[in-house]
Amino acid sequence: MSSLKLPSLFDQLAQPLVYAESLLARFSHLAASSDSRSLQQQLVAAAAELSHCPLAQLYLLDKTHTQLTLCAEWLDGAPLQREASTLPSDYKDQQLLQYCLFQNQVLHVEALNSSLYATPFLPDTDRSWRSLLCLPLHDREQQLGGLLLIAQRDDQALEAFADSLRLLGDFAMGQLQLLQRLDNTPSTPPDIASSTISHQRGYGLIGDSPAMQRVYRLISKVLHNPVSVIVAGETGTGKELVARSIHDYGLRRSQAFIAQNCSALPEALLESELFGYVKGAFTGANQDRAGLFDAADGGTLFLDEIGDMPLGLQAKLLRVLQEGELRPLGSNRTHKVDVRIIAASHHDLRTLVDKGQFREDLFYRLGHFPIEIPPLRERGTDIQLLARRFAEEACCFLQRGPCRWSDEALEHLAGYHFPGNVRELKGLIARALLLCEGNVLLPEHFSLPDSQQPISSRSLRERLEQVERNLLLDCLRKNQGNQTSAASELGLPRRTLLYRMQRLNINAADLRLKDRAQAQARP
């Protein structure tokens, strides 16, 4: 037995063979667990007993990956049950927990000092807590799912248990994932979990439609992962708001969020703005100046309308993405930056690549995780939710009393196509409030080109024809007026498309009108 070579994770332990045998038994117990709640309790009990610590805690992220909840606790050899009302609703202000969560790193504090570290998440006992070890836990997809914490009342080096307990915790997370799929049991207490999801399911965005629920699910997948994201969608759909949500609810929310529109500046100026420059790099460069990449170091850089970035700059951007290195204009030295890139474009980048207007290697490097924002016309009742919110905000801005909505006005908006999407809706409501002399918004306060009469006065046929007309116009505009391509995309013979266009009175003038409306809606 003396010649048996143990893994390095047991090197610092006093009795490594005894510990390894006990650890293996804990793995077996967790594997045999058939209930999510008991598995969580078994994990904290195992962590406490293996490390000989009086306290072990398990924190799990909710389904939205935004809120941390204490799910299991073991104190002095027994499970500790605390009333939910006595626990914080979130742990955003607990710096030790948030550090371990945001940095995705093991946290070991050997000498807790109340003047240096705030630890209200630890239970009150007769003796103060003196040392702790906090470990990030990952599921089978290697996504961060929670934290495992052990604490001791004496000054003690707990770091020797980090590797083994992390393996045990990750295994438990995988088992918990499997059990939840089988019994659909939530990992957090039902009352806390339901209130959390209902409150934060939109990540600060507005909308309950199925289309937006799909967006929320995609956002949840990238909050705690450093992958680059491309946000696609028509102009005015809220691409920058989605980018801000990913930043504000993700691991980098304590760092800077910098936004730059790539179509707003000429190439030379955009290059110096992004990468910075050194003194003497060009005429007028009288001193060193850091660029936006340096300003966003540790945080997020949002590149809006990246499809309009010149090809030369695309090559420099690709270098930063691949190597994490930045070289300012006029400098011979590079330095490291840690920046998460979120890009957005209303163009189809795949089409731009095919036309040679966008680098294919950059497209694949940026497009690890695309998120498509639905146009407003596909969001159903979200139109009314947004309308009410924008009206409230506009009333506050105009310092006037709140306005009520007539049912006819809401139906009037619901029947409109909104080529300018959410941005157009916000502008329409601001104008309507200026026209409204009373405190009730009526259909006549809105001037909608595609909806001259209230939708409530239309027959079912008229409403269906309006929907079909909008669909055909969208498809024709997407295919730049090419009727053959539009018919193929719609799965129709070309002659059927021509017949429907004639029946619905669609012509080239309508397409130009739509394009002009979209162009005017852009900032």
Residue 90: what pLDDT?
A: 60
Q: Pairing relation of β-strands 144-152 and 131-138?
A: antiparallel
Q: Higher confidence at residue 236 or residue 469?
A: 236
The tokens describing 348, both together, are: 């189809």
* pLDDT digits 0-9 by tens, 175-198: 988 887 776 544 444 333 333 343
Residue 124 pLDDT grade (very low, low, confident, very high; cuts 50, 70, 90): confident
- Which three-class secondary structure state does DSSP give residue 497? helix
Residue 453 pLDDT grade (very low, low, confident, very high; cuts 50, 70, 90): very low
Place of tokens 């006992």: 125
Q: Higher confidence at residue 286 or residue 102?
A: 286
Residue 188: what pLDDT?
A: 43
* pLDDT digits 0-9 by tens, 213-259: 999 989 988 887 778 899 999 999 999 999 999 998 887 887 899 99
Q: Read off the pLDDT of each residue in 155-181 and give the average, rounded to a whole number.
A: 88
The amino acid occupying position 371 is I
Rg (Cα) of the chain, in Å, rounded?
Answer: 29
Task: Check if the beta carbon of residue 144 is closer than 8 Å to that of residue 136.
Answer: yes
Residue 493 pLDDT grade (very low, low, confident, very high; cuts 50, 70, 90): confident
How many Å is the maximal CA-CA distance in the chain? Answer: 91
Place of tokens 């836990």: 137
Residue 56: what pLDDT?
A: 94
**Domains of the chain with CATH codes:** 8-191 (3.30.450.40), 202-374 (3.40.50.300), 377-521 (1.10.8.60)
Residue 357 region by backbone torsions, left for phi larger than 0, else alpha for psi between -120 and 50, else beta = alpha
Residue 73 pLDDT grade (very low, low, confident, very high; cuts 50, 70, 90): very high
382-398 and 407-414 helices, crossing angle to 10°: 120
Residue 380 pLDDT grade (very low, low, confident, very high; cuts 50, 70, 90): confident
| Centroid of chain to Cα 319 | 25
**Residue 204 scores a pLDDT above 90:** no
Beta bridge partners of 107: 134
* pLDDT digits 0-9 by tens, 384-437: 999 999 999 999 888 888 888 988 888 888 888 888 899 999 999 999 999 888
Compute the distance between CA of residue 36 and CA of residue 15 in angstroms, rounded to an integer: 32
Q: Read off the pLDDT of each residue in 321-350 and give the average, rounded to a whole number.
A: 90
Residue 11 pLDDT grade (very low, low, confident, very high; cuts 50, 70, 90): low
Residue 151: what pLDDT?
A: 93
Query: What's the mean per-residue pLDDT of the chain?
Result: 82
User: Residue 177, class by beta-carbon neighbours within 10 Å (0-12 exposed, 13-18 middle, 19+ buried)?
Assistant: middle
Long-range own/partner contacts, residues 409-413 (CB < 8 A, 24 or more apart) = 409/441, 409/442, 409/443, 409/445, 409/446, 410/384, 411/454, 411/455, 411/456, 412/443, 412/446, 412/448, 412/451, 412/454, 412/455, 413/383, 413/384, 413/387, 413/446, 413/448
User: Dihedral through CA 459, CA 419, CA 220, CA 316, nearest 10?
Assistant: 160
Residue 40 pLDDT grade (very low, low, confident, very high; cuts 50, 70, 90): very high
The amino acid occupying position 324 is G
Residue 513: what pLDDT?
A: 47
- Count the Cβ atoms, other than its own, within 10 Å of residue 368: 13
Residue 264: what pLDDT?
A: 86
- Residue 200: partners with Cβ closer than 8 Å, 6 or more residues away: 64, 66, 67, 249
The tokens describing 433, both together, are: 């409030």
Residue 9 pLDDT grade (very low, low, confident, very high; cuts 50, 70, 90): low
Compute the distance between CA of residue 62 and CA of residue 111 in angstroms, rounded to an integer: 31
* pLDDT digits 0-9 by tens, 273-324: 999 999 888 888 888 889 999 999 989 999 999 999 999 899 999 989 888 8
Residue 517: what pLDDT?
A: 45
DSSP 8-state secondary structure symbol assigned to residue 171 = H
Residue 475 pLDDT grade (very low, low, confident, very high; cuts 50, 70, 90): confident
Residue 360 pLDDT grade (very low, low, confident, very high; cuts 50, 70, 90): very high
> Which helix (H) or strand (E) element contains residue 156?
none
Compute the distance between CA of residue 111 and CA of residue 476 in angstroms, rounded to an integer: 68
Least confident residue range of 7-11, 216-220, 343-347: 7-11
Compute the distance between CA of residue 171 and CA of residue 43 in angstroms, rounded to an integer: 10
* pLDDT digits 0-9 by tens, 111-120: 887 767 778 8
The amino acid occupying position 378 is E
Compute the distance between CA of residue 229 and CA of residue 257 in angstroms, rounded to an integer: 14
Burial 370-400 (b: 16+ CB within 10 A, else e): ebebbbbbebbebbebbbbebbeebbeeeee
Task: Check if the beta carbon of residue 180 is closer than 8 Å to that of residue 36.
Answer: yes
Residue 48 pLDDT grade (very low, low, confident, very high; cuts 50, 70, 90): very high
Residue 438 pLDDT grade (very low, low, confident, very high; cuts 50, 70, 90): confident
Least confident residue range of 53-67, 344-358, 394-408, 498-512: 498-512
Compute the distance between CA of residue 478 and CA of residue 510 in angstroms, rounded to an integer: 13
Residue 391: what pLDDT?
A: 92
Task: Check if the beta carbon of residue 121 is closer than 8 Å to that of residue 87.
Answer: no
Residue 492: what pLDDT?
A: 86
